[in-house]
Structure 1
């Protein structure tokens, strides 16, 4: 005989359903242990001590802002500059030169960082171009970052990072070249910021970023929080956002194999995938 569902279990399920409805993220049993710690700030703000009380507040007709605060608190915004460096190193060495050859007539590259969090990924991309300024002279580089979190997007737009944040993934030379130290923190230089813009957006719903399709889409460590059905939907959306001869970059350990028929692996290029049926990566395969 099954055990009855307790009030707390029911409340945790309501919170999980809220997160999934707003973001598509599936709050698995293995992630539920962190709910109380993630919501501790909200508990303090509202003078409550547990999820059951929070659910009662969420039931109020005017609880829209609180619901958004709950969702934002539960999102995993873990990121840092040049995350998964071996994967990132493939961009200036192989992927971007290949795209430059394909776009030599238009001299423009459009890149989307989907699930950009607080902006380090998008700014890392811009730094790659800034460090090869001569190679990209006369080109238009447009990098757009989107995230479901309003707070993360606001932080990304500010371009200001703490000492701890800039030290994660950046060497001293890069810090001094691309940032200025201010009383508020380390501020991204204008020559990097001008290539990047940020918008709040949900990968699964609403309009895609205005400049689609993109030559390169980064969607790293986002899909792993979706269940299989939602992941399939996300791949379908991403397929509509990538040029037929463009690339999709996933996180380390993520793959399209067994997940979708919309993309295929790019041989010997870990974490890079291409639209199914595309012939654009032949030269990459030959060079492998």
Structure 2
């Protein structure tokens, strides 16, 4: 379905204003497909008709307004448990033990998953921690997942996944330890959910907590920002991270040539630290 330039620009401006994401021309072809569910719900057949309705008061009780429905339909919520496993395995093997040694006095670790989508990343970390009960006995662990999508956050809070979703990245033993089979699907266990929480939030806003985080995961989010917006996001992430904390990006993302706020950690893929800490000593090699 062809999308007119005028309608495409309105949709692109809406997405950028609400989320910071830049809808490039290379993604233009998927606009109509992504919005097909919105078309069906409102009885329309193309983007031009949709654009004409954006300013009308069409909100239904309990539902986001039409503009928000459009934005959420365009967001890429692709995720799965333990996505990019070699990178993810660094957490229990190196990053979390190192943080534990640094937080021995408080025995508290706070983790933020920015752009968490439907929650698989948050629950993956929770499972890694709960699978080492002796190491974390007596510790307070708080894992916060945030996303701009109201729909994704609701799904994450519910913690119910289809057979296909739990098979993506999870072994049978993990499923049995951390999930319960229900009539709706596979429900994350209460114990796993107890250290996980979610809220709607954009990384371009003030950080979602007054305290700073020991570990921030922001994976496959910055890819959708243009350079100025990416710089703003890095600034927010840096302000939210403890001076000796760690940032994990996606496998296809980097700070090199993008920001001076972070420095790569030696021999650790996709792991970074605040640059002002790195200035005082060489980038740390963990393990």
- Per the shorter chain, which TM-score range? over 0.9
The CA deviation string for residues 30-70 of structure 1, in whole angstroms up to 9 with x for no partner, is 11111001000111111111111011111325567000000
Aligned ranges 1:51-130 → 2 under 5 Å: 51-61=47-57, 65-130=65-130
2:266–2:283 CA contact under 8 A, matched in 1: no
Match of 1:254 in 2: 253
The CA deviation string for residues 171-198 of structure 1, in whole angstroms up to 9 with x for no partner, is 1110011100011100111111000000
For structure 2, which runs of at least 5 residues remain unmatched after alignment?
none
Q: TM-score, normalised by structure 2?
A: 0.94
Q: Between Structure 1 and Structure 2, how many residues are aligned? A: 281
The CA deviation string for residues 122-150 of structure 1, in whole angstroms up to 9 with x for no partner, is 00000011000111000000000000000
Deviation at 1:208, TM superposition (A): 1.8
Match of 2:147 in 1: 147
* Runs of 4+ displaced beyond 2 Å: 59-64, 279-284
Aligned ranges 1:1-288 → 2 under 5 Å: 8-61=4-57, 65-205=65-205, 207-279=206-278, 284-285=284-285, 287=287
For structure 1, which runs of at least 5 residues remain unmatched after alignment?
1-5
Paired with 1:251 and 1:201, the residues of 2 have a C-alpha distance of 19
Paired with 1:177 and 1:107, the residues of 2 have a C-alpha distance of 25
Deviation at 1:281, TM superposition (A): 8.3
Paired with 1:217 and 1:281, the residues of 2 have a C-alpha distance of 21
Paired with 2:286 and 2:184, the residues of 1 have a C-alpha distance of 49
Paired with 2:286 and 2:214, the residues of 1 have a C-alpha distance of 20
Paired with 2:3 and 2:42, the residues of 1 have a C-alpha distance of 20
2:247–2:271 CA contact under 8 A, matched in 1: yes
Match of 1:3 in 2: none
Paired with 2:88 and 2:281, the residues of 1 have a C-alpha distance of 18
CA change 1:143–1:286 in 2 (3 A) is closer
Paired with 2:172 and 2:286, the residues of 1 have a C-alpha distance of 37
Q: TM-score, normalised by structure 1?
A: 0.94
